[in-house]
């Protein structure tokens, strides 16, 4: 095939593929333009996940009538003049590609009025081609409406996610820019319903309450900029050690007002929690970094989400020290009362040694049928065979999968020592209980009989916009496993019922864990998201490590484990027990031969 120059429309669509990945990319680029125009009030309206329509209105300076058509040419920008300007970028946008790229894959309408013009100008484009241009009456600022996104690129349209997923990405973008610019009032409306609003008060804390929820914000500590720390200033909020998540996606970083993705800086934040968080757990952080523009290169990636630093080690150290100092100061604060820090909000039970708080489950396993009676509603007088886990009232016992074991004792309030005909068994009480609950739940669930515990008084739960969309998308699945959640205003749900085995748990704590699983998606080896939720429910309800059990409770737990179909692993695949045969014990004590 001979070399030839591509047509302009093909070049435009290739460029659009780099800049416009999904509806959230459109929102991001248009928000940056609005902020660069000096807007202090921005409204985002999204319909159909963004594919049908995206409308962004701002009260910025607008575009002069004679310059407005130029805005849709590739590499047309008011933010750069020479190559030297690339070394000290102070605006969010600078490439001059966003509007041209968006217009090339959509039907776009722009109404703008410059602060010096008596009236506004309307421009309408289809596939990047101008189809209408006329003067109109308009307030100061700009309104851009993007409709039928990717209508002329069917390959890109085919790979779009469900509307709920796209809504979550849009909500994340808007909330991030609201954090970076707390002095700007943001409003996000999706399918005619307002899901996010920031006050524009100028205080980052106010935005975090709206974006993350009051309960989360209470468990965060403020980082204040240190004027003596040199040109690199770090400030924002980070979570107390009791608040943590399953991945790094809740670490949000901004450089000079620009949201970025930087694995190394996220690692710096995590490393600051060394010895405060378990391996595999990550904090919730919103950190702002200010440094001279000439010390950071933002011209790295078309989406401007990645940057390079002139002194990357210095930035890493500044972030790590700022976060570590805040955590150490919090840990040394003496004013603690009833699990709460008087100045920093609720701390919770993150500190080691508070075993008493883990000893309130009060299990009564005086017989192996105790769990089954709790699930099926049988009274003590109607107890079933004490050596079996029944599949339902009156059902035959399961076959035994382990030999009969006798409890000897407990180590570290975590492991049960048992003796059997084949030697010694060391059993992880939490993993074993997870396996027992999981098999019971799956049996009852298969019979469409999952017991539900209705609350005497309904509880309300507020979630960040992105997480609220995630719950909404899985309401049917949650209802199927025993949760009854009802939307109750923007990002708010009424919790009317939970699975019976979680009756003593706080619904918010349970749903935080479920949200982590939903964010991670399906795991290989698990049949569905539903199975993942059931696994999480059983993990939450199981006896915890560090809980002292009576001999009867330990014996009852082991009796049920002996009848599980898969007694050697928990639902997550961890072993429930370690077995040492009589011969192995004899060899350890030199008694062989």
CB proximity list for 417: less than 8 A, separation 6 or greater: 407, 408, 409, 410, 411, 424, 425, 426, 427
The verdict on residue 203 lying in a domain is no
Confidence of residue 207 (pLDDT cuts 50, 70, 90): very high
The C-alpha atoms of residue 301 and residue 477 are separated, in whole angstroms, by: 39
Dump pLDDT digits (tens) for 550-589. Answer: 888 898 898 889 888 888 888 877 889 998 888 888 888 8
Dump pLDDT digits (tens) for 491-510. Answer: 888 888 777 777 667 777 77
Q: Which residue carries 């809504």 as its tokens?
A: 167
Q: Residue 338: pLDDT above 50?
A: no
Same domain, 175 and 253: no
Mean pLDDT of 332-348: 39
Confidence of residue 43 (pLDDT cuts 50, 70, 90): very high
Q: Residue 392: pLDDT above 50?
A: no
Same domain, 393 and 540: yes
Confidence of residue 357 (pLDDT cuts 50, 70, 90): very low
- More confident position, 425 or 541: 425
Same domain, 397 and 529: yes
- CATH number of domain containing 232: 3.30.230.10
Q: Residue 526: pLDDT above 60?
A: no
The pLDDT score that the predictor gives to residue 84 is: 59
Same domain, 235 and 135: no
By DSSP bridging, strand 233-239 and strand 185-190 are: unpaired
Q: Residue 167: pLDDT above 80?
A: yes
Q: Residue 331: pLDDT above 90?
A: no
Mean pLDDT of 352-361: 36
Which strands, in side-by-side order, build the sheet including 345-346? Answer: 336-337, 340-341, 345-346
Report the percent of the chain where pLDDT is more than 70: 77
The pLDDT score that the predictor gives to residue 121 is: 93
- CATH number of domain containing 377: 3.30.1540.20
The strand pairing partners of 111, in sequence order, are: 122, 143
Mean pLDDT of 262-268: 91
Decide if 219 contacts 242 (C-beta within 8 A).
Answer: yes
Same domain, 374 and 305: no
Same domain, 395 and 498: yes
pTM of the predicted structure, to 2 decimals: 0.69
Q: Residue 235: pLDDT above 80?
A: yes
- CATH number of domain containing 144: 3.30.565.10
The verdict on residue 267 lying in a domain is yes
CB proximity list for 370: less than 8 A, separation 6 or greater: 363, 364, 556
Dump pLDDT digits (tens) for 194-204. Answer: 999 999 999 99
The C-alpha atoms of residue 36 and residue 420 are separated, in whole angstroms, by: 73
Mean pLDDT of 375-384: 35
Decide if 35 contacts 181 (C-beta within 8 A).
Answer: yes
- More confident position, 63 or 593: 63
The pLDDT score that the predictor gives to residue 586 is: 85
CB proximity list for 102: less than 8 A, separation 6 or greater: 16, 19, 20, 26, 29, 30, 108, 146
State the average pLDDT for the chain. 79
Same domain, 240 and 192: no
The C-alpha atoms of residue 240 and residue 348 are separated, in whole angstroms, by: 9
Continuous segment of H or E residues that includes residue 155: helix 154-158
The verdict on residue 204 lying in a domain is no
The verdict on residue 591 lying in a domain is no
Exposed / middle / buried, residue 451 (Cβ in 10 Å: 0-12, 13-18, 19+): middle
Q: Residue 231: pLDDT above 60?
A: yes
CA atoms within 13 A on the CB side of 422: 8
The verdict on residue 436 lying in a domain is yes
At 276, list the tokens. Answer: 């405060």
What are the helix (H) ranges across 521-574?
529-541, 551-561
The pLDDT score that the predictor gives to residue 53 is: 94
The pLDDT score that the predictor gives to residue 111 is: 95
The C-alpha atoms of residue 110 and residue 122 are separated, in whole angstroms, by: 6
Closest to 87 (Cα-Cα) out of 257, 294, 255: 294
Q: Residue 340: pLDDT above 50?
A: no
Dump pLDDT digits (tens) for 172-193. Answer: 999 999 999 999 999 999 998 8
The pLDDT score that the predictor gives to residue 302 is: 61
- More confident position, 82 or 496: 496
Q: What separation in angstroms does the CA of 215 have from each of 75, 220, 419, 463, 483?
A: 45, 9, 46, 9, 21
Same domain, 39 and 163: yes
Same domain, 194 and 219: no
The verdict on residue 323 lying in a domain is yes
Dump pLDDT digits (tens) for 435-464. Answer: 888 888 887 777 666 556 665 556 777 888
The C-alpha atoms of residue 85 and residue 357 are separated, in whole angstroms, by: 59
Query: What is the number of structural domains in the chain?
Result: 3
The verdict on residue 437 lying in a domain is yes
Q: Which residue carries 């680029």 as its tokens?
A: 29
The pLDDT score that the predictor gives to residue 458 is: 65
Of 141, 170, 198, which residue sits at a domain end? 198
- More confident position, 176 or 366: 176
Enclosing domain of residue 471: 370-580
Please provide residue 166's backbone torsions phi and psi, each rounded to the nearest 5 degrees. Answer: -65, -35
The pLDDT score that the predictor gives to residue 388 is: 40
- More confident position, 350 or 513: 513
Same domain, 254 and 148: no
Dump pLDDT digits (tens) for 283-316. Answer: 999 999 999 888 888 766 666 667 888 888 999 9
CA angle, 58 then 60 then 64, to 5°: 115
The C-alpha atoms of residue 457 and residue 505 are separated, in whole angstroms, by: 15
Same domain, 224 and 167: no
Q: Residue 252: pLDDT above 90?
A: yes
The verdict on residue 208 lying in a domain is no
Rg (CA), the chain: 29
Same domain, 147 and 121: yes
Of 346, 378, 409, which residue sits at a domain end? 346
The pLDDT score that the predictor gives to residue 238 is: 94
Of 198, 232, 261, which residue sits at a domain end? 198
Q: Residue 488: pLDDT above 90?
A: no
Decide if 247 contacts 520 (C-beta within 8 A).
Answer: yes
């Amino acid at each position: 095939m001979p070399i030839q120059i591509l047509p302009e429309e093909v070049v435009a669509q290739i460029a659009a593929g780099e800049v416009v990945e999904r509806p959230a990319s459109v929102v991001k680029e248009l928000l940056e333009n609005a902020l660069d125009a000096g807007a202090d009030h921005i409204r985002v309206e999204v319909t159909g996940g963004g594919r049908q329509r995206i409308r962004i209105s701002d009260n910025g300076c607008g575009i002069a009538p004679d310059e407005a058509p130029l805005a849709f040419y590739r590499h047309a920008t008011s933010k750069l003049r020479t190559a030297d300007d690339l070394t000290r970028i102070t605006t969010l946008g600078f490439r001059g590609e966003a509007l041209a790229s968006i217009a090339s894959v959509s039907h776009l309408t722009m109404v703008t009025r410059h602060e010096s013009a008596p009236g506004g100008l309307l421009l309408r484009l289809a596939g990047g081609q101008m189809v209408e241009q006329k003067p109109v009456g308009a307030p100061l600022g700009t309104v851009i409406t993007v409709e039928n996104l990717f209508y002329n690129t069917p390959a890109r349209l085919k790979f779009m996610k469900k509307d709920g997923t796209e809504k979550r990405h849009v909500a994340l973008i808007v909330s991030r820019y609201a954090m970076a610019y707390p002095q700007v009032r943001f409003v996000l409306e999706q399918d005619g319903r307002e899901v996010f609003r920031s006050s524009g008060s100028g205080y980052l804390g106010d935005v975090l309450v709206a974006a993350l929820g009051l309960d989360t914000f209470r468990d965060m500590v403020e980082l204040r900029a240190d004027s003596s720390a040199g040109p690199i200033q770090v400030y924002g909020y980070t979570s107390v050690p009791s608040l943590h998540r399953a991945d790094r996606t809740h670490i949000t970083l901004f450089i000079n007002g620009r949201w970025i993705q930087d694995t190394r800086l996220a690692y710096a934040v995590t490393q600051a929690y060394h010895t405060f968080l378990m391996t595999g757990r990550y904090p919730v952080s919103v950190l702002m970094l200010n440094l001279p523009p000439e010390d950071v290169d933002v011209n790295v990636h078309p989406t401007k989400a990645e940057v390079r630093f002139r002194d990357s080690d210095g930035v890493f150290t500044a972030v790590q020290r700022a976060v570590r100092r805040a955590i150490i100061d919090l840990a040394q604060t003496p004013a603690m009362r009833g699990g709460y820090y008087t100045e920093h909000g609720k701390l919770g039970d993150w500190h080691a040694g508070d075993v008493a708080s883990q000893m309130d489950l009060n299990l009564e396993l005086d017989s192996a049928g105790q769990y089954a009676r709790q699930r099926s509603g049988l009274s003590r007088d109607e107890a079933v065979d004490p050596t079996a886990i029944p599949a339902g009232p009156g059902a035959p016992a399961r076959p035994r999968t382990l030999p009969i074991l006798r409890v000897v004792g407990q180590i570290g309030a975590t492991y049960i020592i048992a003796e059997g005909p084949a030697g010694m068994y060391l059993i992880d009480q939490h993993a074993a209980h997870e396996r027992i609950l999981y098999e019971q739940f799956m049996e009852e669930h298969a019979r469409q009989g999952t017991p539900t515990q209705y609350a005497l008084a309904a509880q309300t739960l507020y979630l960040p916009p992105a997480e609220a969309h995630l719950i909404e998308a899985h309401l049917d699945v949650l209802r199927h496993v025993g949760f009854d959640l009802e939307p109750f205003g923007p990002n708010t749900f009424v919790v009317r019922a939970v699975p019976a085995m979680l009756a003593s748990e706080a619904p918010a704590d349970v749903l935080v864990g479920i949200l982590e699983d939903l964010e991670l998606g399906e795991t290989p080896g698990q049949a569905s998201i539903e199975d993942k939720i059931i696994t999480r429910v059983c993990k939450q309800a199981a006896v915890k490590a560090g809980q002292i059990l009576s001999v009867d409770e330990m014996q009852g737990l082991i009796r049920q484990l002996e009848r599980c179909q898969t007694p050697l692993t928990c639902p997550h695949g961890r072993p429930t027990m370690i077995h040492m045969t009589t011969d192995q014990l004899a060899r350890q004590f030199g008694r062989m031969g």
